[in-house]
A and B are shown apart, each in its own frame.
Chain A
């Protein structure tokens, strides 16, 4: 029967795409890491920078810490920009090599292979540190592997020594195994994977070991050791875990085993397929396979159960369409002809509706609605560089996209579109902000000029020079005092007044003594008291001379320091006055240059965006054509089967029987 043959053909196609999708790097740009693309630990894509990409250790430069802060939040664009700015400002003195490694890792994830390679090569030239060199060789190996330069990748990986950071060892071993798989050296790949299957203590290592076990199973089967390979897949198929990735891996192993045993051991195949979760990412294919396992066992009635479930599901998977056809086939085998006719009729109606829906979608995509919806869904905020299928809009236009997304350059192209959209947003924001730079510069210029105008007389250089002249006079006077030990030159104001009063007292005593009626004894008493007070003052002045001299000397020294600082400030002010206009001009030129660069780049980004959208349009058209061909094929098969049954019914009626 044609339908049956075609379905078996489809089944084999599903089997091969399921079980052996880990074979080779059919699309290195999408899934560069062959084995992890099937079973990579964690939710991060295989080539996305992970914490292990960050060199461990204490943060010794604040700005390196700020780069990590952005990096850990998956703000990779900001992380890279912060890092480049900090490098430019010489703020990463303690983490120069770490920063380069991190930047190289980010470029690698961003698909900037040449730049990443240049960084790692530079590190190999500059750094003598074994840990840095090993890490650089590791990344170079990874880049070359992603470029499918397998021999060169092997050469780089063979240079990795014992100093490789512990956090990268597992990935390094996986990469080597992937490399062997990519070179189709399955026995060697299996040997390399054997080492990785030994999960040590810790949740993460056990999970990684499960991925390795799965891949080992695949490698062994490819190497011709089906029995051993199946054993490894069985181990994964039986694993117990609450982790969603591990559950998906288990489903995948059960699915692969189920499909591989479908023809040779359908009972076993059914057991494996039944273990696949009903709501996981592989449930549709498992339900389809389950039905076929029942068909293999000639349990046609039982085959209807999973297919009936599948037929109710959202039609975003070819398995659902296939189930519609297969249901008719089983009913036919059960000789339930009226029900088979009904089933085929239903299938025809659905296929026709889907074809009409698909045509509407194609028209909507051609009108550009899909891209508008798609980009409306994507925030212009950075959120990593990886496109996620969950971000597809929920509009009718996007309904068929998951079907055309898988396994094609679509993923990369849509990522580029998203990145260009993000870049356009960034540039747009700068375009609105650059005028503010002009305003800032104008403000600084006017502030500077205002401050110049408001300088007080005390702040001018002339005033400072006057002060210095006075200081020199005082210094000369002090020198003279010192040379002559002239203690009376250091009298205080009070003492000076006392000295003047003593002179006046002496004059009055002299005048009184000249009076005819003066009493000589009384005069002598006055002279004694005068001599006593003068003696006291002279004693005080002479005995405190050294202290007074020192105090004045220190004051002069302090004045010298103040004068020196003031002259330096004046000097700096003079230079600022001379340079400021030049600085302002330099800033104005820089702002203008950036304005032009932003405008020019934005234009280029827009052009690239349009071209990328056109490319995507072509890709989507091709994919939709293929999908349409598949639907038409299903429709033809359903019509053929229906016609066949109707012929049978007509023949039966002609011979007076009823088709049952």
Chain B
């Protein structure tokens, strides 16, 4: 009787141990629970979505605008005493490729040194003509419209051009310059 009692105790102990073990270890194929706080997980997700967006951004550009045909136009302004940009239009080889009306927020960003990517597209290698026209209140707050033309050559590398609006104190009027970047 005593030995039977001992045997039962031993069985019970084994049973309890195995139960404890099965409780401690997750079942096979079950994913371990994420023990991080929700806030930590949200931060991690933000980081991952940002990285994914970066990759997609690059992939999209590579697919749509390969370097051999890529042309990117940028716009910047340097002060705005003599001219406040309202709108800009860009033509490449007589085709309108960009038309933009500026909000106060966008103008503010430009005035503080931001550079707008105005257009990205594809052109064949060879000679091309770009015509950019700017509108907005000029000196003495009168409607001011000015166009600038530049001929450029597209090679096998991506082409970057910057349209710059500068105040020229000497002339008391704005100046529009097209700068070609390497």
Contact = CB atoms under 8 A, between A and B. Distances in A.
A66 B114 CA distance: 6
Contacts of A191: none
A115 B47 contact: yes
Contacts of B137: none
A440 B45 contact: no
Contacts of A51: 112
Interface in A383-404: none
Interface string A106-118: 0000111001000
Interface string A429-449: 010011001001100100000
B115 A69 contact: yes
Contacts of B39: 111, 412, 416
Nearest to A572: B156
Given A62-B160, A437-B60, A608 B41 contact: yes
A54 B63 CA distance: 32
A237 B76 CA distance: 44
Interface string B26-69: 00000000000011011101111111111111111111100000
Interface in A63-119: 64-66, 68-73, 77, 80-82, 84-85, 88-89, 110-112, 115
B59 A65 contact: no
Contact of A605 (B43, B45, B110, B113): B45
Nearest to B72: A62
Contact of A601 (B48, B109, B117): B48
A65 B160 CA distance: 13
B151 interface: no
B108 to A, nearest CB: 6
Given A85-B57, A604-B45, A605-B45, A80 B50 contact: yes
A426 interface: yes
Contacts of B61: 85
B77 to A, nearest CB: 11
A348 interface: no
Contact of A594 (B46, B56, B115): B56
Contacts of B114: 65-66, 68-73
Nearest to A87: B54
Contacts of A430: 52-53, 56
Interface residues of A, number: 52
B117 to A, nearest CB: 5
A192 B76 CA distance: 41
B181 interface: yes
Contacts of B162: 62
Given A77-B50, A597-B52, A587 B42 contact: no
B166 to A, nearest CB: 13
A430 B112 CA distance: 31
Contacts of A604: 41, 45
Given A598-B52, A605-B49, A440 B64 contact: yes
Given A73-B109, A88-B54, A426-B49, A112 B64 contact: no
B23 to A, nearest CB: 25
B115 A427 contact: no
B55 A426 contact: no
A423 B109 CA distance: 24
A612 B38 contact: yes
B38 A65 contact: no
A615 interface: yes
B121 to A, nearest CB: 14
Given A62-B181, A73-B109, A601 B54 contact: no
A72 B109 contact: yes
A594 B38 contact: no
Given A62-B115, A65-B115, A420 B52 contact: no
B112 A72 contact: yes
B38 A608 contact: yes
A88 B160 CA distance: 18
Contacts of A577: none
Contacts of A423: 45-46, 49
Interface string A36-75: 0000000000000001001000010010111011111100
Nearest to A89: B58
Nearest to A587: B63
Contact of A66 (B45, B53, B112, B116): B116
B181 A594 contact: no
Contact of B52 (A77, A88, A444, A594): A594
A594 B55 contact: yes
A611 B63 contact: no
A590 interface: yes
A81 B108 CA distance: 21
A65 B45 contact: no
Interface string B86-101: 0000000000000000
A419 B42 contact: yes
Given A66-B114, A84-B54, A111 B43 contact: yes
Contacts of A80: 50
A357 to B, nearest CB: 31
A68 B57 contact: no
Nearest to B55: A594
Interface centre among B47, B106, B114 (most CB of A within 10 A): B114
A591 interface: yes
Contact of B74 (A62, A598, A612): A62
A433 B53 CA distance: 12
Contact of A68 (B52, B112, B181): B112
Nearest to A417: B42
A85 B108 CA distance: 24
Contacts of B112: 51, 68, 72
B144 to A, nearest CB: 23
B106 A73 contact: yes
Contacts of B2: none
Given A72-B112, A72-B114, A81 B53 contact: yes
Contacts of B50: 77, 80-81, 84
Contacts of A433: 60
Instruction: List 9 tightest A-B contacts by C-beta distance, closest first.
Output: A65-B115, A69-B114, A72-B109, A84-B54, A68-B114, A81-B53, A440-B63, A85-B57, A416-B42
10 contacts: A65-B74, A66-B115, A77-B53, A84-B50, A84-B51, A112-B43, A437-B63, A594-B56, A601-B45, A608-B45
Given A62-B160, A72-B113, A601-B52, 7 more contacts: A51-B112, A65-B74, A66-B114, A420-B45, A437-B59, A605-B45, A608-B42
